[in-house]
Amino acid sequence: MSLPFNDPSNPALPSPLFSDVTAVRGDHLRANNNAIFTDLSYLDTTMDARWLRTIFGDNAYGSTLVTDLDSIAKSGFYTCYGTAAGVPDAGFSWFVLHQNSAVGAVSMYQRAVAYSTTIIVFERMKIASTWGAWRETGAEAVGSEKMFFGDVAPRGWLIEDGKSLALTGGDYNDTKYYALYAHIWDLVNRTVVPSTYLSAAKGANAAADWSANKKIYLPNRQALSPKGAGTQTLNTRSKIGPALGVPEEDQFELHGHKITTGTTNTLASSASVPNLYNSSGELTDKVTAPVSDGVNVLRAGATTRDCTLGTNFIIKI
């Protein structure tokens, strides 16, 4: 800021602002002008910084370091360490944008960006004075599944191997698993999936069972192929899928084989080709082990299967 007058503390340099007033009034004003000049100089050097702090935060870098994201009460830019309360993931420090409603503090919005070379962004809303869960922006919905070629799930996912989620005492213990816990709990509550996904009798709500350290089990995709739940009709025939979250064993559709009988023994008896008829020319009821046709290698075992490749299935937390 440039002042429109000279330094009033020097009588030899009278301000042009007072050139048209009487000497008496000028002397009186000039006696007080030194204090006014000092105040204006102070404002000149501090106004910009104060203005920026009003908008952006409590320090010269334009943000405020906080220890509790849940208790922020003023719109602005904030930073915090992973030890702060209310963070999306304690493994990172966070840059946080906080926005209050224009009509009060019962509704708010927060966006948190992790201090990481990987772009990790979370958002959440406070509605009617209650914070909702953090949701990772741009990520699949909680409970989403996909195939993953690896034995360690990527960040934000878990391998579906039947392990448990809990506040404490489970295979996975952390508040970041609560969203998936609540998702599966809701499916149990609506009897969409079996109650066996919950380790004990269902309580009043997911939060109560979480606080009581009841476990929720992940789906177990090991050795199982995915199949659409429900039923439909194809070519007038009903096709039946398993219920959501219910495994089913392999089976053959019921069928029969037509065999034409005769009065003579048309097949020679040998080690590789069984004799289907007895000495009287009657068809026997003997069941024999499968034999090779001389071209294909027999691959018999406990499971009927197609050609497959092992992979893991993962689920979004």
What the block records as the tokens of 73 is 């009460």
Query: What percent of the chain lies above the pLDDT cut of 70?
Result: 71
CA angle 258, 260, 266 (to 5 degrees): 135
Instruction: Give φ, ψ of 37 to 5 degrees.
Output: -60, -40
pLDDT of residue 37: 63
Residue 1 has pLDDT above 50, yes or no: no
Q: Which residue has the higher pLDDT, 19 or 94?
A: 94
pTM: 0.61
Instruction: Give φ, ψ of 80 to 5 degrees.
Output: -160, 160
Express each pLDDT in 270-286 by its tens digit.
444 455 666 666 666 66
CB atoms within 10 A of CB 176: 16
Backbone torsion region of residue 303, taken as left when φ is above 0, otherwise alpha when ψ lies between -120 and 50, otherwise beta: beta
Q: Which residue has the higher pLDDT, 284 or 134?
A: 134
Looking at residue 156, its amino acid is: G
CA angle 142, 147, 151 (to 5 degrees): 100
Q: Which residue has the higher pLDDT, 85 or 291?
A: 85
Round to whole Å and give the CA distance between 17 and 31.
14
Q: Give residue 265's pLDDT band: very low, low, confident or very high (50, 70, 90).
A: very low
What the block records as the tokens of 165 is 């989620």
Looking at residue 300, its amino acid is: A
Express each pLDDT in 210-259 by its tens digit.
999 999 999 999 999 899 999 999 999 999 999 999 999 888 888 887 76
Residue 35 has pLDDT above 60, yes or no: yes
Express each pLDDT in 58-100 by its tens digit.
667 778 999 999 999 999 999 999 999 999 999 999 999 999 9
CA angle 100, 104, 107 (to 5 degrees): 55
Q: Which residue has the higher pLDDT, 42 or 128?
A: 128
Residue 95 and residue 108 in contact, taking contact as beta carbons nearer than 8 Å: no
Residue 93 and residue 107 in contact, taking contact as beta carbons nearer than 8 Å: no
Strand-pair partners of 146: 314
